[in-house]
Chains A and B, each alone.
Chain A
């Protein structure tokens, strides 16, 4: 049923992406009029959640003004933040609900669209069971919306299956930190980075994916800190690295284990800290006993001397910060990778102090807050476990249902798509997720979408995925509904409503509550305003790990953000975790884990001899649903290019600008080459923001980390060849 109602090209010509270059009224005319108000809020894009002031006139965002008093970014913005306001008043904006017909999508009334959605969801659940319907959420939603989606799935629909696009982002780090420290959060406020003496960045293209964080690292360097960068590419921040480790894709664990080996071998471990505040050190020590720098060098391509130097620098300082992002986490051993980083921090006693710690660089806008309050397949609000009877009882009590009515944990995001593909899940309601571009193996994703008996989408633009929908409910942009998010450092911040949704579009939370009403569950969804959702969320999180009970919108405004946990109104919040070596496990101790080398899910061989790795560019964001519609951002990097080293390029006679076909075990795509010395000669790179024939995710594979269920985006095997004429 869920094939596109018209050819994609026709839908694209009607619904975009089209490019918006100018503010409403044009550069020289109406937009020069003074703003009626400046709204202090935050960027809608990445996990930095930079403070920004939106200029508003006549219910339209006409520009921005830097917000220099907001402490995290102090006015700084990347190009996405500068141009983010152009997503409003966009010609592609969905202004009313759309119903699929034989002649394409037709506008409908809200009653028609919501009645249809509720009826189809009910029919599928009546026919196939509650769990035949799944819900997809997203980490760009405010925490209120994310909370609402979790409650809607479990209480409104009664399905086990809700998960979110954060499954493609933070979950490896989340599982690792939960296991090691007892809490899924970066332990340090970002101000600690600037105070470090040694900063190691592993698998994090900070200059492009978390640009504001560059300033923190440069400030550390200004006072003499050493910078270590481990990455298969020479990323923009590597230009100032004191030590660059050109790690082969998928082999970070070998390098990290060898660093631990050196730390233990050379007597650099902080035995006092380990004895007082951790358990399991002997397990990790045994895991790395055979991992000499020489052995790791064979696997990772990083020189033994460089591994030794990195280990010594980190261990010999009392102010070392280790920072990691998707390069480390998007692997089938993503959790072990993060556990190894945490083990280095623990073994050297570099945690819980100013300038000392290990942090995950959360990628998505509300990557932190969106994963704390029940949008994950196995979690309840407050970072509680859905499998924990006490947690079930508490949250069921807040929601006014019996604990037995709460479904069991369901499938993760990729597993949901697998279950759709094999016919187990028949209906899908999706918000804030563009899986056709963002999930691995896009041909498989398309096949799955085409098998759905019902597909409903809530979105503000017709994304490539939404083109497959039976009904599209025209929702709201970030600036059209109040709420909170938690930024990369777990600072809970206030998203202000700057404008009303245009025309017949509606606030996302209204749409969900209306849908719940039509499903006969209105008494559980009485919310009129986001504030009412937040107040219930505070209560539902109370006593949990991510305790928001003491946080209010007013406190956030007054204090420019409040770091959770914040259990009461007189609690100051918690910028830094684990001070005095106290961790979140019941015994107060951190855990060292067993580390074990495993091969990845798509190994290189004679037929596919080159590593393919994927990532982002600074001017685009995730699946590009928003940023591929903003002219200035598209102009900066208009189409995906294949980054390839001249040594590899020479083997195939490839020069910059040549069209090159990249083939993996799944598919082939053809892109222009960019021959650069800034990548390993055995590796090629493609940014993943584009759909269709330019989609890097046609090439990637569906292997998951067995614990975090994150796909192994960062390591595929491929071959390259000049396009045959």
Chain B
């Protein structure tokens, strides 16, 4: 909708946590931040990574939800849990291969990034990507990304034998088509599709 897509590039992240703070200000989840943020290994590196929900085309969280509390909207956004339905069982927390959903104990509810649905559904940019000073989180048109970045947007991820395609893109080296971190995904065993490689 509105021609914008969400792009995550951890190599741009400066660890300022502006995204976490701005997420709290969004109208849909006042005071609760839905950003996932890590210092990768502060003792050895300043590297940080901030990311949002990847909004899977076929969301694992919704598949495993026994209460049918997680809905994917027509525009591909996977919503946070519906309060009247969520039973706080944590199935989604355990099942999500990206580790995105969080159980918020004070609300007895799973909460996760809904891409500022109050904003994106009316053509505004999400809070995090609007304020991000390094544009590690970026919400722009595919044409803009293609024209301005050297990296390539990728939205295919391998987790073992699970291949996941997502609405949100990860910026990867220019010759990369999919992202896998598991050596098993590159081993030929004659049974499953291998993760593609750049060589």
Contacts and interface: CB of A to CB of B under 8 A. Distances in A.
A222 B148 contact: yes
B15 interface: yes
B31 A22 contact: yes
A63 B12 CA distance: 27
A527 interface: no
Contacts of B120: none
Given A27-B30, A207-B134, A214-B134, A78 B16 contact: yes
B14 A236 contact: yes
Contacts of A646: 43
Interface string B27-71: 100110000000000111111100000000000000000000000
Given A75-B130, A212-B133, A632-B21, A618 B11 contact: no
B117 to A, nearest CB: 16
A397 interface: no
Interface in A356-396: none
Interface size class of A (residues with CB under 8 A): 35 or more
A76 B31 contact: no
Report whether over half of chain A's contact residues are helix, strand or loop; otherwise say mixed. Answer: mixed
A76 B11 CA distance: 18
A77 B30 contact: no
Contacts of B42: 674, 676
Interface in A84-108: none
Given A27-B30, A619-B17, A677-B45, A82 B25 contact: yes
A77 B25 CA distance: 13
A675 B15 contact: no
Nearest to A76: B133
Contacts of B127: 66
A391 to B, nearest CB: 40
A77 B27 CA distance: 18
A676 B43 contact: yes
Contacts of A73: 133
Given A32-B27, A222-B149, A238 B18 contact: no
Given A75-B125, A76-B132, A211-B134, A27 B18 contact: no
B17 A208 contact: no
B134 A618 contact: no
A32 B22 contact: no
A191 interface: no
Interface residues of B, number: 33
Nearest to B148: A222
A521 interface: no
Contact of B131 (A82, A632, A633): A82
A64 B127 CA distance: 11
Interface in A186-218: 207-208, 211-212, 214-215, 218
Nearest to B147: A222
A55 to B, nearest CB: 10
B24 interface: yes
A656 interface: yes
Which of A27, A78, A224, A678 is the most central at the interface, judged by chain B CB atoms within 10 Å of its CB? A78
Most buried by A among B21, B44, B150: B21
Contact of A28 (B14, B30, B46): B30
B135 interface: yes
A240 interface: yes
Contact of A75 (B30, B48, B131): B131
B46 A76 contact: no
Contacts of B131: 66, 75-78, 81-82
Contacts of A504: none
Contact of A238 (B20, B30, B46, B134): B46
A83 interface: yes
Contact of A82 (B14, B21, B27, B148): B21
B46 A636 contact: no
B15 A236 contact: yes
A68 interface: yes
A215 B133 contact: yes
Nearest to B15: A236
A558 interface: no
Interface string B123-139: 00101001111110000
A487 interface: no
Contact of A63 (B25, B46, B132): B25
Nearest to A21: B31
B133 A214 contact: yes
A219 interface: yes
Nearest to A632: B21
Contact of B31 (A27, A211, A238): A27
B31 A79 contact: no
B42 to A, nearest CB: 6
A234 interface: yes
A218 B30 contact: no
A632 B109 CA distance: 22
A239 B46 contact: yes
Contact of B130 (A68, A222, A234): A68
Given A31-B30, A82-B25, A237 B14 contact: yes
A235 interface: yes
A222 B21 contact: no
Given A76-B135, A207-B16, 13 more contacts: A63-B25, A68-B125, A75-B130, A76-B132, A77-B22, A82-B21, A82-B25, A83-B21, A211-B14, A211-B16, A618-B17, A677-B45, A678-B46
18 contacts: A22-B31, A64-B25, A66-B125, A66-B127, A66-B130, A75-B131, A76-B130, A76-B135, A78-B133, A79-B18, A81-B131, A82-B22, A208-B16, A211-B134, A236-B46, A618-B16, A676-B44, A678-B46
Interface of A: 21-22, 27-28, 31-32, 63-64, 66, 68, 73, 75-79, 81-83, 207-208, 211-212, 214-215, 218-219, 222, 224, 234-240, 618-619, 632-633, 636, 646, 656, 674-678
